[in-house]
Structure 1
């Protein structure tokens, strides 16, 4: 699984070719989706979607709880504190 980040991604192409390994990519959000999200935030509508806010320190436990199905939060906002 490969994510995107601010820097270019370097792949070991020799291993991909020699091992005949497939590489697949996908896009979860389009540019239009990103622009819409920024507009929603700017207009103050995000509060209608965010159902809980947790500090960064609690993020691992909240993620585990979400993956196990123990919580039913719609959107969890992780804050720095």
Structure 2
């Protein structure tokens, strides 16, 4: 088996991510709180952002929904992290 076969083929659906963490604090988006398929999908989403910033994003990989999910996860962490004085969970 080649490493390429293990690479996620798609990202996480924004509605799926929202339903997983809705009403939860920032800890709900930490890796140990998320199921493995979601983590693999997020790896795909963050790789798209990395490639986009490096100018290596291929046209067929330009998926705005994947970018939205990754940004949603980061926003959840930034807005609710306990270091900001709002420890919601």
Q: Where on the TM-score scale, by shorter chain, does this alignment land: which range?
A: under 0.3
More strand by proportion, 1 or 2? 1
Bigger relative CO (Cα 8 Å, ≥ 6 apart): 2
Query: Could you say which structure has the higher helix fraction?
Result: 2
Q: Normalised by the size of structure 1, how large is the TM-score?
A: 0.27
TM-score normalised over the length of structure 2: 0.25
